[in-house]
Structure 1
Amino acid sequence: MTTFVDRVELHVAAGNGGHGCASVHREKFKPLGGPDGGNGGRGGDVILTVEQSVTTLLDYHHSPHRKATNGKPGEGGNRSGKDGQDLVLPVPDGTVVLDKAGNVLADLVGQGTSYVAAQGGRGGLGNAALASARRKAPGFALLGVPGDLQDIVLELKTVADVALVGYPSAGKSSLISVLSAAKPKIADYPFTTLVPNLGVVTAGSTVYTIADVPGLIPGASQGKGLGLEFLRHVERCSVLVHVLDTATLESERDPVSDLDVIEEELKQYGGLDRRPRIVVLNKIDVPDGKDLAEMVRPDLEARGYRVFEVSAVAHLGLKELSFALADLVAKARAARPAEEATRIVIRPKAVDDAGFTVTREEAEGEPLFRVRGEKPERWVRQTDFNNDEAVGYLADRLNRLGVEEELMKAGARSGDGVAIGPEDNAVVFDWEPTVMAGAEMLGRRGEDHRFEAPRPAAQRRRDREAERDESSREFDGFEPF
């Protein structure tokens, strides 16, 4: 049964925003008290938070679909809907968040650091919030925005000070078991260790963590064996320890060639060139192992390596090794910044970004102009297309954003199709250019002059003046019962 998982694909869904409410206040002797529809509640976010007690991504391997709660709709009497509850997902220290394309979204290091993986949808505004001096009694409210749907990849990169690397059965698990209180599985066959093991070592006043990275063989950086799966756990380690087997039974292997193979794999993986290295010649308790260690030690020291001869079984040379590692770890910590904050990748918009794009396409031989952008797509999702006044309000917002002007520049003509949103979820309509959008031209609820036959410009101007005079005398078209 799997007990350790360091890479999962997670499907997260934030909560949807609640719909706004369109309501008119009524009470005895006050039949028309004005709009009092409340706003919808915000949908809950999905938040990844580092928790030190969590050491694996196993829970998300078994349950990869997670969803936050939705916001509640608004109600009359200016009562706003309740916000959805955020869903907090604990992850191990050192978790990297990537998108499906492999781009890093966040690198979570340190207790309590967090990242919003999916943002809850906005609640729709009620008609009380939409009221203005010109639109005193809106007969519509905005719908809630759906929450984000994200497919993300979580990768765990072990946060340790020292990494033990080497061939299978070189004695890495035995070494970590005698240097620390870790109890890894130890046996006399290759690939005994299938997951990284962590141990805590105390040497004088320095306390550091040591990790046993399994599965490194020739071709590990290209995915052979278990190397590619666990090489990521070496990335955060400050010191690398080459554990070389001086008592191997394979005739074609020796400590120097083993070192060259592992160094080549680390080089191919990338990003590990400047890490300090120590060479440990293990199993010197075996007579042939002691002789081989003494034979290859001068060659390794000539390459600039600091070499230690140890035996994990006989507990030889361990004290010197642990204090040497403590010294390197202390120097690495002193060279780091005082605090290492979590890394979240932010991709700001360009300063000349209009917030939307207009592209021309062909659909069944007819021109189709597609509008893409965060604001236009959100506004479309918030619109109740069964309400003419809400449609007019949407047109005003698009017009103020400059969508109509861009459509004209792109060559759109009256009657051409316009789609707002992606291909699989777009709102398509026939475009009719207007001088002024509809909601501000509405004299009564549910009426929109853009849907009437074209009128001369002088007539339209007189009608607007008459509507302004009327709105100053009446309550936006409503009359007392």
Structure 2
Amino acid sequence: MTTFVDRVELHVAAGSGGHGCASVHREKFKPLGGPDGGNGGHGGDVILTVDQSVTTLLDYHHSPHRKATSGKPGEGGNRSGKDGQDLVLPVPDGTVVLDKEGNVLADLVGHGTSYVAAEGGRGGLGNAALSSARRKAPGFALLGVPGGLQDIVLELKTVADVALVGYPSAGKSSLISVLSAAKPKIADYPFTTLVPNLGVVTAGATVYTIADVPGLIPGASQGKGLGLEFLRHVERCSVLVHVLDTATLESERDPVSDLDIIEEELKEYGGLGDRPRIVVLNKVDVPDGLDLAEMVRPELEARGYQVYEVSAVAHIGLKELSFALAEVVAKARAAKPKEETTRIVIRPKAVDDAGFTVVQEEDGLYRVRGEKPERWVRQTDFNNDEAVGYLADRLNRLGVEDKLMKAGARAGDGVAIGPEDNAVVFDWEPTVMAGAEMLGRRGEDHRLDVPRPAAQRRRDQQAERDEAQKEFDDFEPF
């Protein structure tokens, strides 16, 4: 049974926004008291958050489909729908979030670090929120926006200060078990360690973590053995420790050649050339092992390595090694630049950025792409003529019609708003004025008209002018 998983594919779906409500307030002697439809609730987000108590991605291996709850629809009486609940998914420290193409979306390091993997849909406005001086009684409401969908890949890269690397059965598990309180599986056969093990070491005033990475063999960077599965766990480590077996029973191996082979695999994997190295000659409690260690030590020191002779079984040289590692770790930490707790990134829009694009495709179809027009289309109930007219007003104010004309569109040409797999397609009919301006005061009910004093008429006229300016500036309540 799988107990450790460090790479999974996750399918996340945010909650959809609730639909707005189209309702008219009614009471005795006042059958048309004005619009009172409430707004729909927003859909819940899917959020990945680092949790120190989580050490594996096993839960997502068994249940890769996760969905947040949707917002509730609005109701009459100006009652807004309840927002959907966010779905918070705990992940281990050091989790990297990638898309299906392998592009990094987020690197989650540090307890509490979070990333919104899928954003909840916006709730639709009710007709009370859509009413204005020019549209006193809207007979429609906006639909909720569907929640975001995303297929992501989670990769776990162990967060540790020191990584023990070496051949299988070189003694890495034994070494981490005596340097720390970790209790990995130890045996006298290769590939005993099937998952990375973490231990905490205290040396004087320095506390650091040490990782036992499963054994590497020639060709590990190309997928042989277990190396490729776990080489990613070496990436975050500040110090690499080569654990070399001086008492191997394999006649064709020796500590120097083992070191050269592992270094070649690390070079092939890439990105580890700047990490400081320390060489540990293990199993010097064996007489032949001690003799071999004394033979190869001068050559390794001539290459610039710090070399330590240890025995995990006999507890030889462990104190010197732990303090040497603490010193190197402290230097590596001091060399790292201080990370800002809050980083604000400002990306101003271009002066000529209209927020959408119009492109003519090979088949003659004009496709409109942009966050606003695509969202507006998803919020429109096309079974309601008034709602369709409201959409036409919004698109016209945004400048879509002008841009279609400049692109060469003519009456009857096909226009699609949205991506190829989810677009609304219609035959374009250009207008001089759209919607409310062309039809008069759409959304008003003459039964609501009552005689108004002159002062009230002036206030209403000013309110209409303010509303027209506000709509021109594309003001949105949400």
Give the TM-score normalised by structure 1.
0.90
The number of residues matched between the two structures is 478
Please show how residues 52-91 of structure 1 align to structure 2 within 5 Å.
52-91=52-91
For residue 267 of structure 1, give the secondary structure of its aligned residue in structure 2.
helix
Of 464-473 and 97-106, deviating more is 464-473
For residue 344 of structure 1, give the secondary structure of its aligned residue in structure 2.
coil
Q: Could you tell me how far apart the structure 1 residues matched to 2:477 and 2:276 are?
A: 84
For residue 56 of structure 2, give the secondary structure of its aligned residue in structure 1.
coil
Query: Per-residue displacement from partner, 1:441-473 (whole Å, max 9, x unpaired)?
Result: 334658999999999999999999999999999
**1:353–1:247 distance in 2 versus 1, CA, 3 Å:** farther
- 1:439 deviation in Å? 3.1
**1:344–1:464 distance in 2 versus 1, CA, 3 Å:** closer
Are 1:414 and 1:432, in contact at CA under 8 Å, matched by a contact in 2? yes
**1:36–1:453 distance in 2 versus 1, CA, 3 Å:** closer
For residue 425 of structure 1, give the secondary structure of its aligned residue in structure 2.
coil
Are 2:135 and 2:444, in contact at CA under 8 Å, matched by a contact in 1? no
* Alignment partner, residue 167 of structure 2: 167
Are 1:109 and 1:341, in contact at CA under 8 Å, matched by a contact in 2? no
**1:455–1:30 distance in 2 versus 1, CA, 3 Å:** closer
**1:258–1:34 distance in 2 versus 1, CA, 3 Å:** same
- 1:71 deviation in Å? 0.2
Q: Could you tell me how far apart the structure 2 residues matched to 1:71 and 1:229 are?
A: 41
**1:79–1:452 distance in 2 versus 1, CA, 3 Å:** closer
Of 45-54 and 335-344, deviating more is 335-344
Please show how residues 331-350 of structure 1 align to structure 2 within 5 Å.
331-339=331-339
Structure 1: gaps spanning 5 or more residues: none
**1:451–1:103 distance in 2 versus 1, CA, 3 Å:** farther
- 1:347 deviation in Å? 8.5
Q: Could you tell me how far apart the structure 1 residues matched to 2:477 and 2:457 are?
A: 29
**1:309–1:45 distance in 2 versus 1, CA, 3 Å:** same
**1:464–1:331 distance in 2 versus 1, CA, 3 Å:** closer
Q: Could you tell me how far apart the structure 2 residues matched to 1:200 and 1:466 are?
A: 68
Of 323-332 and 145-154, deviating more is 323-332
Query: Per-residue displacement from partner, 1:311-338 (whole Å, max 9, x unpaired)?
Result: 1111111111011111111222222344
**1:250–1:478 distance in 2 versus 1, CA, 3 Å:** closer
**1:306–1:415 distance in 2 versus 1, CA, 3 Å:** same
* Alignment partner, residue 243 of structure 1: 243
- 1:346 deviation in Å? 9.8
For residue 349 of structure 1, give the secondary structure of its aligned residue in structure 2.
coil
What do you get for the CA RMSD once the two structures are aligned?
A: 6.5
Do structure 1's residue 372 and structure 2's residue 360 form an aligned pair?
Answer: no
**1:385–1:164 distance in 2 versus 1, CA, 3 Å:** same
Structure 2: gaps spanning 5 or more residues: none
Are 1:279 and 1:306, in contact at CA under 8 Å, matched by a contact in 2? yes
- 1:43 deviation in Å? 0.1
Which of 441, 448, 451 is the matching residue for 1:451? Answer: 448
Q: Could you tell me how far apart the structure 1 residues matched to 2:241 and 2:477 are?
A: 86
Query: Per-residue displacement from partner, 1:414-446 (whole Å, max 9, x unpaired)?
Result: 001111112221111100011111134334658
Q: Could you tell me how far apart the structure 1 residues matched to 2:232 and 2:471 are?
A: 71
Are 2:436 and 2:442, in contact at CA under 8 Å, matched by a contact in 1? no
Query: Per-residue displacement from partner, 1:152-205 (whole Å, max 9, x unpaired)?
Result: 111111111110011111111111111111111111221111100001111112
**1:397–1:3 distance in 2 versus 1, CA, 3 Å:** same
Of 378-387 and 394-403, deviating more is 394-403
**1:243–1:8 distance in 2 versus 1, CA, 3 Å:** same
Q: Could you tell me how far apart the structure 2 residues matched to 1:475 and 1:423 are?
A: 29
- 1:400 deviation in Å? 1.6
Query: Per-residue displacement from partner, 1:99-131 (whole Å, max 9, x unpaired)?
Result: 111111111111111111100000000111111
Give the TM-score normalised by structure 2.
0.90
For residue 188 of structure 1, give the secondary structure of its aligned residue in structure 2.
coil
Which of 412, 420, 424 is the matching residue for 1:423? Answer: 420
Query: Per-residue displacement from partner, 1:69-118 (whole Å, max 9, x unpaired)?
Result: 00000111111100000001111111111111111111111111111110
Are 1:471 and 1:477, in contact at CA under 8 Å, matched by a contact in 2? no
Are 1:134 and 1:440, in contact at CA under 8 Å, matched by a contact in 2? no
**1:111–1:13 distance in 2 versus 1, CA, 3 Å:** same
- 1:360 deviation in Å? 1.6
- 1:293 deviation in Å? 0.6
* Alignment partner, residue 261 of structure 1: 261
- 1:244 deviation in Å? 0.6
- 1:147 deviation in Å? 0.4
Q: Could you tell me how far apart the structure 2 residues matched to 1:71 and 1:100 are?
A: 28
For residue 365 of structure 2, give the secondary structure of its aligned residue in structure 1.
strand
- 1:296 deviation in Å? 0.6
Of 14-23 and 430-439, deviating more is 430-439
Query: Per-residue displacement from partner, 1:373-428 (whole Å, max 9, x unpaired)?
Result: 21111110000001111111111111122211221122211001111112221111
- 1:29 deviation in Å? 2.0
Q: Could you tell me how far apart the structure 1 residues matched to 2:159 and 2:244 are?
A: 23
- 1:224 deviation in Å? 1.9
**1:223–1:452 distance in 2 versus 1, CA, 3 Å:** farther
Q: Could you tell me how far apart the structure 1 residues matched to 2:470 and 2:170 are?
A: 92
Which of 411, 435, 440 is the matching residue for 1:438? Answer: 435
**1:420–1:288 distance in 2 versus 1, CA, 3 Å:** same
Of 399-408 and 70-79, deviating more is 399-408
